[in-house]
Structure 1
Amino acid sequence: MTRQLDEQIAGRFPVGQRLRVLDVGMGQGTQALRLARAGHKVTGVERDGEMVAAARRVLAEEPEGVRERVRLVEGDGMDTGVHFLPGSFDVVLCHGVLMYIEDPDALLAGLARMLAPGGLLSLLVRNADGLAMRPGLAGDWVGALAAFDSVRYTNRLGLDVRADRLSTLTETLAGIGAPLHAWYGVRVFTDQAADGAAVPERGELNTLLAAEERAGRSDPYRRVAALLHLCGVRG
């Protein structure tokens, strides 16, 4: 999805513009650092202190020019209004966060308020319309049948979390003033890969990524992807 995000940024903003980016739920800061290396000014928000510490350690190894473009904030994504003024960012990322929040509408509304006019809101969520695929392909027929009408699932960490439907998020984004501009499927073919599986050789990896990229843009494949990448644009 890195390529998808880059494509959306390139399509929304002039070439060479240094963007103000807010990364909510940044984890160890992988995406934040990538954008800072590209020249953008990035603020990362993460409530897990250990994750913030890990991000600081990685950031300390970066050149000064990158370090000075990154601000790390230990805090909750629900509190963006406490830390930042409305309209302060050109891009807001919220990747892999909504599945841990029972009612994400308030969070999404707050993130939309952080966007300047024309700003991009990038979400990565678990796809509720594809929940039956993982157990079904693994031969867990009871789990597959239970997943068809559910938005709950147990993730690979063993946590009971929730998924989102494309139709519901489309309505939500329209309601908060950042209507859906583009969406993609993520992990269409590779969701069954085991944790810690060996990375394929470069040639095979490039072919795999090309297949995933094609599927993630194409119906009907993208509709059953494990994850959805949604991009909304502030009006």
Structure 2
Amino acid sequence: MARRLDEQIAARYPVGQRLRILDVGMGRGAQALRLARAGHEITALESDPALLRRVQEALATEPAGIRERFRLVQGEFRETGVHFLPGSFDVVLCHGVLTTSEEPDALLAGLARMLAPGGLLSLLVRNAGALAMGPGLAGDWTGALTTLDAPAATDREGRPVRADRLDALTSTLAGIAAPLHAWYGVQVFTPWGPDSGLPAAEELERLLAAEDRAGRTDPYRGIAAMLHLCGARAA
């Protein structure tokens, strides 16, 4: 499903355009590597030395052309202004980073300054408007009621993490001169079904097609587990 994010981002640009992309909090680097293989110039900012080493090892197995257009930078996500000049990137990815951010508005404002005219800020966040879906569909009525009364999210270890609402982020994006251009639901169906692993290839294609269409269609996209928001700087 991560490839759907790539497609949603690329849809703003002419086919074949080479983009300068900043990936803030690249994690294991899967998306950054995929975009580099597609011909884009990648700068990845990551604070975790272990993750940086892991991506460096993966890069070592790639062709020279991909290594040459992939730059790794160790640093805090809030310090983009220390490492890069304003307006340096066509696309800034901030996928999953807000879940652990204590000052999301300040972080997003810093990322928006990195955008060139016409640039795109891509956010992937937990959907605070759908947190009760999981416990509710599992028959955990206490959990559903608790979440509805005091929305909160937890990670796999049960630790609290941030979740965000579409209207609040829409307002934030407008305030940092990167107003909402498009938004999508991510994982509309898959989080709520039985965890039985990936289906066979033919069934997987149908699943991805259903997820893609639902993620673009109201009211389904509003109950997705995650939201993908694209804010666009004026050209």
> TM class by shorter-chain length?
over 0.9
Tell me the alpha carbon deviations over residues 117-176 of structure 1, each in whole angstroms, 9 at most, x when there is no partner: 100110000000001001111111111111124342111232211100000000000000
Q: Which amino acid aligns with 1:222?
A: R
Consecutive unaligned residues in structure 1, runs of 5 or more: none
**What residue in structure 2 maps to residue 5 of structure 1?**
6
Q: Distance in 2 between matches of 1:138 and 1:162?
A: 22
**What residue in structure 1 maps to residue 70 of structure 2?**
70
Indicate if the aligned counterparts of 1:129 and 1:148 stay in contact, CA closer than 8 A.
Answer: no
TM-score normalized by structure 1? 0.95
Query: What secondary structure does 1:217 align onto?
Result: coil
Query: What secondary structure does 1:191 align onto?
Result: helix
Q: CA deviation at 1:44?
A: 0.5
Query: What secondary structure does 1:177 align onto?
Result: coil
Q: Which amino acid aligns with 1:206?
A: E
Q: CA deviation at 1:232?
A: 0.6
**What residue in structure 2 maps to residue 137 of structure 1?**
137
Give the 5 Å matches for 1:124-163: 124-163=124-163
Give the 5 Å matches for 1:131-210: 131-192=131-192, 197-210=196-209
Indicate if the aligned counterparts of 1:92 and 1:120 stay in contact, CA closer than 8 A.
Answer: yes
TM-score normalized by structure 2? 0.95
**What residue in structure 2 maps to residue 228 of structure 1?**
227
Q: Distance in 2 between matches of 1:10 and 1:118?
A: 13
Q: CA deviation at 1:193?
A: 5.3
Structure 1 stretch displaced more, 141-150 or 122-131: 141-150
Indicate if the aligned counterparts of 1:52 and 1:74 stay in contact, CA closer than 8 A.
Answer: yes
Tell me the alpha carbon deviations over residues 92-119 of structure 1, each in whole angstroms, 9 at most, x when there is no partner: 0000110111220000000000000100
Q: Percent identity?
A: 66
User: How many residue pairs were aligned?
Assistant: 233
Tell me the alpha carbon deviations over residues 66-112 of structure 1, each in whole angstroms, 9 at most, x when there is no partner: 01110011111100000000000000000011011122000000000
Q: CA deviation at 1:48?
A: 1.2
**What residue in structure 2 maps to residue 82 of structure 1?**
82
Indicate if the aligned counterparts of 1:135 and 1:144 stay in contact, CA closer than 8 A.
Answer: yes
Q: Distance in 1 between matches of 2:194 and 2:23?
A: 28
Indicate if the aligned counterparts of 1:126 and 1:228 stay in contact, CA closer than 8 A.
Answer: yes
Q: CA deviation at 1:4?
A: 4.0
Change over 3 Å in CA distance of 1:194–1:92 after alignment to 2:
farther
Q: CA deviation at 1:56?
A: 0.7
Query: What secondary structure does 1:110 align onto?
Result: helix
**RMSD between aligned residues:** 1.4
Q: CA deviation at 1:16?
A: 2.3
Consecutive unaligned residues in structure 2, runs of 5 or more: none
Q: CA deviation at 1:215?
A: 1.0
Q: Which amino acid aligns with 1:103?
A: E
Q: Distance in 1 between matches of 2:125 and 2:151?
A: 12
Indicate if the aligned counterparts of 2:155 and 2:161 stay in contact, CA closer than 8 A.
Answer: yes
Do residues 218 (structure 1) and 217 (structure 2) align?
yes
Indicate if the aligned counterparts of 1:124 and 1:227 stay in contact, CA closer than 8 A.
Answer: yes
Q: Distance in 2 between matches of 1:224 and 1:23?
A: 26
Q: Distance in 2 between matches of 1:31 and 1:128?
A: 24
